[in-house]
Amino acid sequence: MTLTNGPEKACFILNPKSGVRSTVSVPDLIGQHLDTTRWTPEIIFTERAGHATQLAQKAAANGARLVVAVGGDGTVNEVARGLLKTNAALGILPKGSGNGLARHLGIPLALPQALELLNTPVFHRIDSCAINNHPFFCTAGIGFDGLISSVFAQSTKRGLSSYIALVVKEFRTFTAQAATVEINGHQLNSDFFVVAFANASQYGNNAYIAPMADIQDGFLDVCLIRHVGVADAIQLGYGLMTKQIASSGLAEFHTCSTVEVKSPQPQHFHADGEFMGTATEFKVQLFPESLEVVASLGANVKAV
């Protein structure tokens, strides 16, 4: 915990369109639960895609010690990327449908409890990553993951049930894509259903793509999933939700700090669940201890 002689600046960046709980009045909750002897709050609403990054950069430059992302995984990603190479720490009030990074960091999903965590902050440094220069902090992926992110971005429905419905629909017609994965000096050539890159352990909604991932160890966990049939898909889904994907026989794991993927056909890809576009070549890098965050003492992270 940082000791100060008075309240420090805390900037709350709100995405008014995030998640499935948009009726919650976050400004009212901040007024009720935030310790103003610890923090002097400023509340700003985003107006467009990418705006949260600009607001976070400005808040850090103006001396905010804490910049809080209020929204889903996309908002958290935008705010976090704005805080790289600054002296401000990331806080999260989870208000999305997946909340992957918040769950990994042990941040309560109930907003009053998440605010209480900020009142007695414990600061941690975590790794960050980038896929083709797009920062991510939780997971990124190529193949079926990327396709789903593209389809979900166009959907007007949010929530776990809507996401599962899209997964089932797209699975019926998706085929594994040829790719070469270069990792730790070795080349792996195959048709891949998913190539996932995990800094944290899960996508969100407690779907664990890499249960062993450590967000502070300086390594990416790369999950390779090749052909997946209908029966395999059921087993894969069970493995994701029970942290047993590594023992399912359907996934292969590697650890590294850099990985490159080449594909003869353009593939969809995502960063923290947000669709980033298509490409035939991918470079994924990890940057150790590059972001400061406020997280729960009970989470699998070490305090600064």
Strand partners, 197: 140, 222
**How crowded is residue 15: how many other Cβ atoms within 10 Å of its Cβ?**
24
Q: How confident is the model at residue 207 (pLDDT cuts 50, 70, 90)?
A: very high
Four-CA torsion 51, 11, 62, 52, nearest 10 degrees: -10
- The tokens for 290 are 């590059």
Q: Which residue has the tokens 């935008």?
A: 78
What is the predicted pLDDT for the residue at 303?
65
Instruction: State how far the Cα of 76 lies from the Cα of 101, in Å rounded to an integer.
Output: 8
**Whether 134 contacts 271, CB under 8 Å:** yes
Domains, in order of start, for the chain: 8-121 (3.40.50.10330), 134-288 (2.60.200.40)
How far is residue 229 CA from its own chain's centroid?
A: 27
Three-state secondary structure call for residue 217? coil
Q: What percentage of the chain carries pLDDT values higher than 70?
A: 93
- Is residue 100 within 8 A of residue 273, CB to CB? The reply is yes
Report the distance separating Cα 177 and Cα 265, nearest Å: 8
Torsion angle of C-alpha atoms 50, 55, 60, 63, degrees rounded to 10: 180
Measure the CA–CA gap between 90 and 84, rounded to whole angstroms: 10
- Phi then psi for residue 87, to 5 deg, are -100, 10
The b-or-e profile of 276-302 (16+ CB within 10 A means b, else e) is beebeebebbbbeebbbbbbbeebebe
Q: Which residue has the higher pLDDT, 127 or 300?
A: 127
Lowest mean pLDDT among 51-60, 78-87, 138-147, 244-253: 244-253
Query: Torsions phi, psi of 277, nearest 5?
Result: 125, -155
The per-residue pLDDT for 1 is 46
> What's the mean per-residue pLDDT of the chain?
91
Of 49-58, 96-105, 138-147, 230-239, least confident by mean pLDDT is 230-239
Q: Which residue has the tokens 């905010």?
A: 64
Asked whether residue 190 carries a pLDDT value surpassing 60, the answer given is yes
Residue 297's pLDDT band (cuts 50, 70, 90)? low
- pLDDT, mean of residues 46-75: 96
pLDDT at 299: 62
The reported pLDDT for the residue numbered 300 is 63
Asked if residue 2 has pLDDT above 50, the reply is no
pLDDT of residue 127: 97
Contact 52, 78 (CB under 8 A): yes
Measuring CA to CA, which residue among 175, 11, 160 is closest to residue 93? 11
Q: How confident is the model at residue 172 (pLDDT cuts 50, 70, 90)?
A: confident
The fraction of the chain above a pLDDT of 90, given in percent, is 76
CA 187 to each of CA 139, 148, 160, 260: distance values in angstroms, whole numbers, following the listed order: 22, 26, 36, 9
Looking at residue 23, what is its pLDDT?
Answer: 61
**Residue 90: predicted pLDDT:** 98
Q: What's CA 1's distance to the chain center, in Å?
A: 24
